[in-house]
Amino acid sequence: ASNKKLLILPGDGIGPEVMGEVHRVIGWMDKRRAVGFELEEGLVGGAAIDGEGAPVSDATVEKAMAADAVLLGAVGGPKWDDLPFQQKPERGLLRLRKDMALFANLRPALCFDALVEASSLKPEVVSGLDIMIVRELTGGVYFGEPRGIETLPDGTRRGINTQVYTTPEIHRVARVAFDLARKRQNRLCSVEKANVMESGVLWREEVTKLHAAEFSDVELSHMYADNCAMQLVRAPKQFDVIVTDNLFGDMLSDAAAMLTGSLGMLPSASLGDVDASGRRAALYEPVHGSAPDITGQGKANPLATLLSFAMMLRYSFDLGDDADLIEQAVQDVLAAGHRTGDIAVPGAAVVSTAQMGDALLAALDKRAA
Ligand code: NAD
Ligand code: IPM
Ligand code: MN
């Protein structure tokens, strides 16, 4: 038996399609690297609504908390779009993040050399790009109270969400970002809108205090979120690590994804605190969604999910060499010209999800030979 308990939640749309390729790599890891997992599979999102009556069941949340790591595909789709807000597939994912206290969401945007041409930006702007966005994931306007839709006496309707951050919430995510910066180029850019929002003022003050107290060796800068969006498209290589709130992080990471060629390339790790026994709750998922427009057609790029699996090997299981191997194999298949539609240059040949998986396994074989 293995001591690595992994819960797999394929979810909806292209989720199960890309997860199929991860299963093949897990099989390869077991056979060729003796890296075995105790696998369990569960439902989340629309699949869980259909199968269990809720976007994530209590039993699945419990399994997720008991697992050493969770790997998730994607949730959502047109079939469930008209459900009441609280019952939508996306609530399942949000509940997992909240209940597992996964406050730090690492979204690396790395432009592989072979994909420089696939980016919508000029080659010199993106070649060699390697930035890490740390998105706060369990606070801010996503979870703040009060929230809801209410009807005023005169019949006017009002939708309410609240942006709120506390000092511990800011400190814990900033700490993760400072630590990562130290292992990279030692530069951290903290992003908010302190010019308009009190929560942004607090964010800036607290990050500055933490910097002075514990991380003065790291080069810290501050930037307003709107400027950051612009700078990411103008000159993205100025950034090393970015730390920002839940909503800004959601938007800035989708923008950063396009620098790398496609949303279908971007992995992520959502991490909690290390507990007394040294365990750290963790969920890994691609940044993209369920892509209803290409579901069931074998067109999905599985690399974001495969790279999320590699992040899991690195961050949850300390298997950096095996993570490197997968990342190098991804580099090999891209260099050899294998392209799903999302990363293909117009007119070039396109491979299916499974063919990309075939190519990756072949590249792994070659690397491991
Ligand atoms: P999306 O990320 O699903 O798709 C955006 C565009 O990118 C689409 O054109 C899609 O075809 C393309 N794309 C995404 N992933 C791809 C891949 N691996 N390979 C090739 N092309 C890919 O975003 P959306 O269309 O705004 O949302 C669709 C559904 O997914 C919604 O229900 C949304 O709530 C949900 N969603 C879920 C997650 C998640 O599970 N973490 C993230 C974002 C959106
Ligand atoms: C993401 C998604 C989610 C978010 C949705 C599906 C809840 O867009 O993971 O980036 O907004 O966080
Ligand atoms: Mn998003």
Q: Reduced to 3 states, what is the DSSP secondary structure of residue 141?
A: helix
Per the annotation, the verdict on 142 as an active-site residue is: yes
CA atoms of 10 and 69, how far apart (whole Å): 14
Query: For domain 1-111+263-369, is the CATH number 3.40.718.10?
Result: yes
- Tell me if residue 254 is catalytic: yes
Cβ contacts of 349-352, under 8 Å, gap ≥ 24: 352/298, 352/299
- Token look-up 């999302």 returns 342
Check if 105 has its Cβ closer than 6 Å to any atom of ligand 1: no
- Quote the mean pLDDT of the chain: 96
pLDDT tens-digit map of 246-265: 999 999 999 998 899 899 99
pLDDT tens-place string over residues 199-225: 999 999 999 999 999 999 999 999 999
Domain spans in the chain, listed from the N-terminal domain onward: 1-111+263-369, 130-259
Among 48-62, 137-151, 254-268, the minimum mean pLDDT is found in 254-268
Q: How far is the CA of 287 from the centre of ligand 3 (A)?
A: 6
Q: Ligand 2 atom closest to Cα of 250?
A: 10
Within 13 Å and on the Cβ side, how many CA atoms surround 259?
Answer: 29
Asked if 226 is an active-site residue, the reply is yes
Q: Assess whether pLDDT exceeds 90 at residue 347.
A: no
pTM to 2 decimals? 0.96
CA atoms of 103 and 106, how far apart (whole Å) = 10
For 130-259, which CATH superfamily applies?
Isopropylmalate Dehydrogenase (3.40.718.10)
Q: Is residue 275 among the annotated active site residues?
A: no
Our CA angle for 146, 150, 153, nearest 5°, is: 130
Residue 15 CA to ligand 1 centre (angstroms): 10
Separation between Cα atoms, residue 337 and residue 349, nearest integer Å? 9
What is the CA(206)–ligand 2 centre distance, in A? 26
- The reply to whether 130-259 shares the fold of 1-111+263-369 is yes
Q: Are 243 and 174 in contact (CB under 8 A)?
A: yes
**Is ipTM beyond 0.95?**
yes
* Residue 278 assigned as binding residue: no
